[in-house]
Structure 1
Amino acid sequence: MPLLSDLIQRAADRLFMPWVLLVLMGGGLYLTLRLRVVQVRRFREALRVMLTARPRGADGPLTPFQAFMTALGASIGTGNIAGVATAIISGGPGALFWIWCYGFFATAIKFCEAVLGLRFRVARGDQVQSGPMYYLRDGLKSPALAWLYAAAACLGALTTTPFSQPNSIGVALSHVLPTGAVVLPWLGAVSRTSLYVGLAVGVLTWAVIIGGIKVIGRAAEKLAPLKVGLYLAGGLIVLVTYAAALPSVLALVFREAFSLHAAGGTAAGLGVMMAMRYGVARGVYANEAGYGTAAVAYGTAQSDRPEQQGLHAVMETFIVSCVTSSISALTILVSGVAQQSIAVIRAGGEGLTSTAAVAGAFNTAMPTVGGWIVAFCAFLFGYTTLIGWAFYGEQALEYLVGPRATRVYRWIYCLLIPFGAIAKPTAVWAWGDMMNALQVFPNMIGLLGLAGLAAKYATRRGGAESSAGLEAP
């Protein structure tokens, strides 16, 4: 098993360095310029739209706000807790700078995904088919790329999210609950707490996704604001507690972003590359820009204004990259948990990582209570991501084989969740990096090819227009 884990990690590293990094950062820079820095120019309008958008009589199962919350709920997953913590401990404090950097350019990527997702969806009343498959097929006129994306997205949703999200939930609860080991056939000894968590989360996920996108949207509408507010409040308490350390930590983040020494201290000269690799990898895991998932979520909205959904995506990416991800990274840095873990790893030991590192940081400011806050937030983060990604994978599978396989897919998805909860975190995150990277390439080709159309929506204002007259180039 360690050999397999190492092979997966090496494959993920080779995909991200330099290929995925170049595609995402380069593509994000190009789209930012092509859309005339829409994330800055229309930020105030995006904030207003987030708070006031209403249905406009168009087809679609969800209101614009429900579509926004579904996308936000799916993207703010345990990647914002466990993934960001892993980035800091594996790539050093400088990884936070690259999370911010990618987050800025990712906003333009996600604006395009949301706009094109609504523009090229196939909607008949409450029945909606949306996602990059449709703008690749109907906008870019490339059925082959559409099929390739759908295959990667379906396999990725089925083999990453049911593993990464319950795994982080299990790690968080194991940190605050007494746990023992249970021996399973073929799997050996596993954490009893993680196993029970996986079984419970699997049942709860099934209870929602079996009802389809309307039930998913209603659940996300209620849970997404709760999880963001609770995590933000807990994180601010930690930051206020260690406010004196904040200036030096911010200086450390910027200094280490361009350091020549890797976090582990064993690969001098590779520090910048490691910080970039983990910063971008965990940044895209946190905000999902580049995966194409925004096109699926925002394509379900009862709206005839693609630019409205694009502005929702601007706020979603800002909240993920600049709020929740920053809370995770800064709390483990100002509390010293990250530095201690890095030192232990340098000495050949196993320091705190994943959700346990953030729980440890919260506990330093709020003993016991802090760990429970992180555990509860990890559950909410992971749960809403699980139900959102179930729909994403379902849409990709429906594109490939039609709706007849949907119910079987939902059952398999839920049955995999307990196995994800007891898996090794390092293998889970490496596999997630690799599978998600495969979605990036066809999706980014579509975004770059249709950038001219997205740019027209980026400069469009007013609420009376429809999509008429804006055709794909």
Structure 2
Amino acid sequence: MTNLSDLIQRLADWLFMPWILIVLMGGGVFLTLRLGWVQLRRFREALGAMVAEQSRTAGGPLTPFQAFMTALGASIGTGNIAGVATAIISGGPGALFWIWCFGFFATAIKFCEAVLGLHFRVVHGDSVRSGPMYYLRDGLKSPALAWTFALASCLAALTTAPFSQPNSIGVAMAQVFPGGEVSLPWLGGVSRTALFTGLAVCVLTWAVVIGGIKTIGRVAEKLAPLKVGLYLLGGLIVLLTHLPALPGVLATVFREAFSFRAAGGTAAGLGVVIAMRYGVARGVYANEAGYGSAAMAYGTARSDRPDRQGLNAVMETFIISCVTSSISALTILVSGVAQRSIAAIRAGGAGLTSTAAVAAAFNTSMPTLGGWIVAFCSFLFGYTTLIGWAFFGEQAMEYLFRGRGTKAYRWVYCLLIPFGAIAKPSAVWAWGDLMSVVQVFPNMIGLVGLVGLAARYATSKEA
């Protein structure tokens, strides 16, 4: 009998191929052309925009750097570790090429989200309301689409982040601290380590979320650079240790991206289709382009320059798609962990996947220490994403209910985290795929409909 996670995964597969692929890849190509290749033309300027000064006259609770780090912290979650590893093992090495491909065009999507988020935000002193619901309502003049997006975003925040992020953190911690199982009523045997990890993350998330966006911004400003730097350093050590294997792996990535053979550990069908499906699915889960979350984060900046926030979004997407995601994929490929897992799954066994695969890859170069690095980075990745998405869901909640129920939302959000930590990874990621679809459609309609305004910011420093 087909279980629930399989049914959810089938529905997500049907929506991703070809509908979401067309919307995101097609939309990304269209926006790139319409914005005049802004991600290439203004890339050097984007490097400097990360540390741009705040405006003295503009409203907003966060400095531009804090807004950038909040967006980066929320986007670089465990999807960059667990999600990318799952993409490679399920879709084959060619999935990495499609992560890069989508990442390039996703920069234009994120640019539009950030620009429109700041342009259409509603400011009352330090209090800011921002997100796709405002540019859908006030820019596209479609309250129905705005309400649809807000509802989807609120549900996604409550049913995706509190499950996917602590789940991957729990998997990583269980690799380092295998503590056996504990029996729970109605849930049966669950990992003791994952359970206690979920409870700890719940308390730590509540301690920040309860303070609102200013507290979230201050924490993200400190933790986001730390997690990227540490993961990059550990990944480079693994790549240097297995440097002779790197050219062959890169050749395989490009060859498998267009292969017509069956690909991956569990997928069946044409390799190019499967690689593209998992590459785009995990790519969007990693960089969140099309979700509309960038509009909520960059809309909080104390800035009156939408183009600067758009350039920050370009750098954010570049870091995620070309740095952190590449580290996860290449380390499991050059170390041979991915190949062994794929072979084991094809033979009917149980190969490593999710965060466990990346931890095993790091351990090949740094025994024991590598697993610790992945576990710690997984915690930082998941934690900053959790606190960022708490704010995104809260913004959607405030739009739907005009500020009522915010405190209750924060409590429910945090209390779901322990359940996410002990859930089955397959069900968590299948649900994540499905919920991402629900947000993308109304948001992309808004971006395409308002691309003319975004293009003015893309081609001129003042609009």
- For normalisation by structure 1, the TM-score amounts to 0.97
| Matched residue, 1:151 | 151
| Matched residue, 2:291 | 291
| Matched residue, 2:213 | 213
**Structure-1 separation of matches of 2:432 and 2:415:** 18
**Structure-2 separation of matches of 1:400 and 1:429:** 27
Checking the alignment, whether the CA contact within 8 Å between 1:94 and 1:258 is kept in structure 2 is yes
**Structure-2 separation of matches of 1:294 and 1:116:** 10
Letter in 2 for 1:332: I
Please list the CA deviations of residues 421-465 of structure 1 after superposition, one character each: whole Å capped at 9, or x if unmatched: 00000110000000011100000000000001000000112xxx4
Distance 1:264 1:226, change over 3 A: closer
**Structure-2 separation of matches of 1:191 and 1:261:** 37
Please list the CA deviations of residues 86-129 of structure 1 after superposition, one character each: whole Å capped at 9, or x if unmatched: 00000000000000000000000000000000000001111100
**Structure-2 separation of matches of 1:266 and 1:244:** 28
Distance 1:333 1:121, change over 3 A: same
Distance 1:84 1:264, change over 3 A: closer
Q: Extract unaligned runs of 5+ from structure 1.
A: none
- 1:80-91 correspondence runs (5 A): 80-91=80-91
| Matched residue, 2:45 | 45
| Matched residue, 1:456 | 456
1:246 shift after superposition: 0.4
State whether structure 2 residue 277 is matched by structure 1 residue 277.
Answer: yes
- 1:68-83 correspondence runs (5 A): 68-83=68-83
1:206 shift after superposition: 0.3
**Structure-1 separation of matches of 2:379 and 2:72:** 15
Please list the CA deviations of residues 146-202 of structure 1 after superposition, one character each: whole Å capped at 9, or x if unmatched: 000000000001000000000000000101112210000000000000000000000
Q: Extract unaligned runs of 5+ from structure 2.
A: none
Q: How many residues align?
A: 463
| Matched residue, 2:414 | 414
Point out the more displaced range, 205-214 or 174-183: 174-183
| Matched residue, 1:259 | 259
SS at 1:183's partner residue?
Answer: strand
State whether structure 2 residue 382 is matched by structure 1 residue 394.
Answer: no
**Structure-2 separation of matches of 1:380 and 1:66:** 17
**Structure-2 separation of matches of 1:51 and 1:234:** 26
Please list the CA deviations of residues 26-73 of structure 1 after superposition, one character each: whole Å capped at 9, or x if unmatched: 000000000000000000000011133333420000000000000000
Checking the alignment, whether the CA contact within 8 Å between 2:265 and 2:345 is kept in structure 1 is no
Q: Percent identity?
A: 80
1:365 shift after superposition: 0.4
Distance 1:125 1:421, change over 3 A: same
**Structure-1 separation of matches of 2:370 and 2:273:** 33
| Matched residue, 2:250 | 250
Checking the alignment, whether the CA contact within 8 Å between 1:260 and 1:268 is kept in structure 2 is no
| Matched residue, 1:23 | 23
1:331 shift after superposition: 0.2
1:266 shift after superposition: 7.8
- 1:346-365 correspondence runs (5 A): 346-365=346-365
1:403 shift after superposition: 1.2
| Matched residue, 1:57 | 57
SS at 1:211's partner residue?
Answer: coil
Checking the alignment, whether the CA contact within 8 Å between 1:165 and 1:383 is kept in structure 2 is yes
1:308 shift after superposition: 0.6
**Structure-1 separation of matches of 2:16 and 2:268:** 20
Distance 1:221 1:350, change over 3 A: same
**Structure-2 separation of matches of 1:219 and 1:386:** 12
Checking the alignment, whether the CA contact within 8 Å between 2:181 and 2:191 is kept in structure 1 is yes
**Structure-1 separation of matches of 2:351 and 2:73:** 30
**Structure-2 separation of matches of 1:109 and 1:179:** 43
Distance 1:26 1:167, change over 3 A: same
RMSD of Structure 2 on Structure 1 (CA): 1.1
1:267 shift after superposition: 6.7
**Structure-2 separation of matches of 1:78 and 1:134:** 29
Checking the alignment, whether the CA contact within 8 Å between 2:70 and 2:220 is kept in structure 1 is yes
Distance 1:267 1:125, change over 3 A: closer
Checking the alignment, whether the CA contact within 8 Å between 1:56 and 1:304 is kept in structure 2 is no
State whether structure 2 residue 379 is matched by structure 1 residue 379.
Answer: yes
Point out the more displaced range, 264-273 or 356-365: 264-273
**Structure-2 separation of matches of 1:194 and 1:219:** 24
Letter in 2 for 1:192: R
1:276 shift after superposition: 0.5
Distance 1:331 1:188, change over 3 A: same
Checking the alignment, whether the CA contact within 8 Å between 1:112 and 1:454 is kept in structure 2 is yes
Checking the alignment, whether the CA contact within 8 Å between 1:114 and 1:306 is kept in structure 2 is yes
SS at 2:258's partner residue?
Answer: coil
Distance 1:266 1:99, change over 3 A: closer
1:143 shift after superposition: 0.3
| Matched residue, 1:425 | 425
**Structure-2 separation of matches of 1:328 and 1:170:** 18
SS at 1:404's partner residue?
Answer: coil
SS at 1:214's partner residue?
Answer: helix
Checking the alignment, whether the CA contact within 8 Å between 1:131 and 1:293 is kept in structure 2 is yes
SS at 1:128's partner residue?
Answer: strand
Letter in 2 for 1:196: F
State whether structure 2 residue 337 is matched by structure 1 residue 334.
Answer: no
Checking the alignment, whether the CA contact within 8 Å between 1:12 and 1:434 is kept in structure 2 is yes
1:260 shift after superposition: 1.0
**Structure-2 separation of matches of 1:56 and 1:141:** 31
Distance 1:265 1:394, change over 3 A: closer
**Structure-2 separation of matches of 1:447 and 1:136:** 9
SS at 1:301's partner residue?
Answer: coil
Letter in 2 for 1:386: L
| Matched residue, 1:434 | 434
**Structure-2 separation of matches of 1:414 and 1:47:** 35
**Structure-2 separation of matches of 1:262 and 1:338:** 16
